[in-house]
Amino acid sequence: MILGNVASPAPEAPESAERHAADSPRNKPRLNVLLVVAVVLAALVAAKFAVPDTRDAPPAERDQIPDTDRGAIAELLDGYVTARLTGRSAEACAYLTEDAQREVARLVGGLSFTPASTVLCPRYVLASSTATAYTVPGVEQLANTELDFKRSRRGGYTLWPLGRSAPTLAARRVNGQWKLDAPRP
């Protein structure tokens, strides 16, 4: 018998071993998860940049709000501030969405249960408190001042005094009427 030149298999090159490991079924789920995470992160980044914050932009670059909406929101804000200043708590609450009324009762009243009842709003809406945007000291400054607006993702607008960043409120339509709502990103 001739045992001559029986070639033993050559060891795999390191790069082919890596290629083989990447193609193995054990690593495919991990690669799929990484791919999904990358796509989701890319979508979130794209969504963030799709709706830029225009507070510091020149007026021409800000959202244009129709004059009818601008007037209605200014009246809403003036009515809310006037009701607060004159002690008409039930009327002040009527200018807020139900969620905002609950927020005032829960946060200003220090109530631990959620959701608080809208019935409790008049008890707390006249207070001066930093717990909510509706009762923060200085909210009265929003009445009879020039406002800046930004279209909200929830519908409606976020508003604040022109040239300043606070206080900030939001307004949106509820059953055809403008109401003050919690500002949300």
Is 143 part of any domain? yes
Is 44 part of any domain? no
Q: Where are the alpha helices (DSSP H) in 5-97?
A: 14-23, 28-50, 67-85, 89-94
The count of domains in the chain is 1
Residue 90 β-bridge partners? none
Query: Which residues of the chain register pLDDT less than 50?
Result: 50-61, 185
Is 54 part of any domain? no
Backbone angles phi, psi at 149, to 5 degrees: -130, 150
Q: How far is CA 33 from CA 20, 26, 36, 38, 119, in A?
A: 19, 13, 5, 9, 48
> Is residue 160 exposed (0-12), middle (13-18) or buried (19+ Cβ within 10 Å)?
buried
Query: Which domain covers residue 71, as residue numbers?
Result: 63-181
**Rounded Cα gap, residues 172 and 181, in angstroms:** 7
Is 50 part of any domain? no
Is 162 part of any domain? yes
pLDDT of residue 8: 54
pLDDT of residue 56: 47
**Rounded Cα gap, residues 119 and 90, in angstroms:** 9
pLDDT of residue 57: 45
User: Residues 106-119: pLDDT tens digits?
Assistant: 888 887 766 678 88
**Rounded Cα gap, residues 79 and 60, in angstroms:** 29
Is 26 part of any domain? no
CATH number for the domain that contains residue 145: 3.10.450
Instruction: Give the neighbor-by-neighbor strand order of the sheet with 169-174.
Output: 147-151, 157-161, 169-174, 177-181
pLDDT of residue 5: 55
Is 38 part of any domain? no
Is 45 part of any domain? no
